[in-house]
Amino acid sequence: VSNAGVGMVGPLECQSLAAMQSLMDTNFFGLVRLVKEVLPDMKRRRGGHIVVISSIMGLQGIVFNDIYAASKFAVEGFCESLVVQALRFNVAISLVEPGPVTTEFEAKLYEEAERTDYSRTDPETADIFTNLYLRNSKDVFASLGQTPEDIAEHTLRVIEAAQPPFRHQTNVAYTPMAALKHADPSGALMTDAFYKLVFKYDAVLRLSLR
């Protein structure tokens, strides 16, 4: 089970390349290093199961989560490319894709975001992040967040499955969001829906979450 991960939220201009590279080293290359270690033995004995804790943000980018989403997209692409070869050796790969999970990981991430200096971005972007994104995120976690125990139960079901799924989303509330991309390959439907959700209907979003 590959579960190591770090987060990053905020305006792109306020994040250093060193921090981005460190995140990718953990979230993506950490997985790559693990798979390189375990896959040869699994292939030799023609059996095994690699379970990767990914994220719904490996399927759908979320505003102000640019680098974190990029790392999870990389995880998804890596596993999707590898799974066909692995199946030839009777090795299963499963991606567990949670939405928001209420843990100290998230709490510390948002506490840090509230203390960060946003002078390196423009005032409008800083205002959108602090007064729209952070406020809405708290409501999202309060209403849709799962517990670590819930994610553990989902992961256990994937591990014990007779035919392990390649992808397993833990929160049905995010199924429509992921489906938007498949409904319109041009991306216009998804982009328009998220733009309106963030900038036109944020009050309705907060009310519905509450």
pLDDT at 189 over 90: no
For residues 20 and 71, the answer to whether their CB atoms sit within 8 Å is: no
Please give the backbone phi and psi of residue 130, each rounded to the nearest 5 degrees, phi first.
-75, -35
CATH match of 12-209 with 3.40.50.720: yes
- Predicted model pTM: 0.89
Return d(Cα 48, Cα 155) in angstroms, integer: 16
Q: Hunting for tokens 């709490």 — which residue is that?
A: 107
Mean pLDDT of 23-42: 98
pLDDT of residue 204: 58
pLDDT of residue 207: 58
Higher pLDDT, 80 or 198: 80
pLDDT of residue 208: 59
Burial class (CB in 10 A: 0-12, 13-18, 19+), 207: exposed
Residues that are catalytic: 68
Q: Hunting for tokens 């201009």 — which residue is that?
A: 13
Return d(Cα 2, Cα 9) in angstroms, integer: 22
93, containing H or E segment = strand 91-97
Return d(Cα 33, Cα 47) in angstroms, integer: 19
pLDDT of residue 205: 60
Each residue's pLDDT tens digit, 115-153: 888 889 999 999 999 888 888 887 777 778 889 999 999
pLDDT of residue 202: 66
Domain spans of the chain?
12-209
Q: Residue 163 carries which DSSP code?
A: S
Higher pLDDT, 111 or 83: 83
pLDDT of residue 206: 59
pLDDT at 209 over 60: no
